Chains A and B, each alone.
Chain A
């Protein structure tokens, strides 16, 4: 547990608190208040991100602490895109995601800034991380919607369509993140795929979603629960990649943040 008493820490904790309030407002069906609080939480997260940017002098996506702050801000932007263009409204889920992605930044990771290592001075660095974190948030949203299939409270077909369109939005970003990482690896290490544990988990994640599309192509919406299971399996692999593969010494490698 690393509690922060800095300005950055205050911004993170305040954003977390407002995300929680927005979630409560959404639960109490106070939609307008919920959206307003959601926007305030976004301003705070974006403020933390910009504050970090000014302090470090480079786009703060270098380590998991910075990535989670960026995710805290990105969740609002992606929520707006999904609501406006996909007509998928998930206020409660989005605010909860916002709270949970900021939690590791607030309490788990150290805020000590380090200069940008030579390996990270690449034009692929920012797009690779930005695309991945966007894809992860969308896949979180898709998995939350997929889990509703098992609650029996929603129309399974309509819910299945929402899940499908969210995965359609997120999967190209997930694949692009993988491709950008592969090209970057080629220019830095001389190989486009190094069989590193994190690379293997990322590949498995992409393959599970590819499996979902093939399954859905064959069976359509005949088995909505099995379709949802694919999405939940995909999210499990994302969580493993993000936390276990990044932090565990079991998977120590070039991408590991544990060493």
Chain B
């Protein structure tokens, strides 16, 4: 286990130098799939072989948390989504981009860096798009953007099933996807919003893992830190 942690730390340092795109490719490579498999087996075997890990709830929580995070990471990765599409007939893509003009609706999103198109089973209509600015300190100062706001509606079978204001940090979650405000532009004077569309597959596992890991770490380590001397 210690060897895997050291290797993982070394790979993380190496990846910091090669840039996000190459790092993502490295961590999603077939070789790394073996590493993730080994890590999962190792944690599982440790939980079975070392009774002190299961008898002490905080330690069990930490290791189950790590297990869930790795599983969630695999399930939510591009490769995981590709397998889901092929095996489970699940048409979800990991990520895409949806461009919607004000007053119009759209259900076709660009996926795989605009090399393919995917159809959502519902439409996203952009009711309004606004940019809020901070009050400039003086008339000469350029106004600074405070927030980008897109008022949207989800339309399924001609019925409005949801409506929300999407802004930076406040995405809309619907139909197994998150819709995030990414960009905006003007097309013949009419504003449009660019939404990043992200699948929610595996996110529950990861966040569940975070909760287990967090509780386990505080429980286990703070009880030792604050022990009576």
Contacts and interface: CB of A to CB of B under 8 A. Distances in A.
Interface of A: 85-87, 114-115, 117-119, 121-122, 164-166, 168-169, 171-172, 175-176, 179, 182-183, 186-197, 200-201, 203-204, 207-208, 210-211, 214-215, 218, 237, 245, 250-251, 253
A200 B16 contact: yes
Contacts of A251: 16
Given A175-B213, A187-B169, A190-B198, A118 B27 contact: no
B16 A197 contact: yes
Contacts, number: 125
Interface of B: 1-2, 5-6, 8-9, 12-13, 15-17, 19-21, 23-24, 27, 73, 76, 95, 134, 144-148, 167-171, 178, 180, 196, 198, 203, 206-207, 210, 213-214, 217-218, 221-222, 224-227, 229
A118 B221 contact: no
A119 B178 contact: no
Nearest to A245: B16
With a 10 A CB-CB cut-off, give which of A114, A164, A197 has the most chain B CB atoms: A197
Main secondary structure of the interface of B (DSSP, over half): helix
16 contacts: A117-B145, A118-B169, A165-B224, A165-B225, A166-B225, A169-B225, A172-B217, A172-B218, A175-B213, A179-B214, A189-B180, A192-B206, A193-B73, A197-B16, A200-B16, A200-B23
Given A187-B169, A195-B23, A201 B198 contact: no
A122 to B, nearest CB: 4
Given A118-B145, A214-B5, A194 B12 contact: no
With a 10 A CB-CB cut-off, give which of B13, B196, B207, B225 has the most chain A CB atoms: B225
B16 A168 contact: no
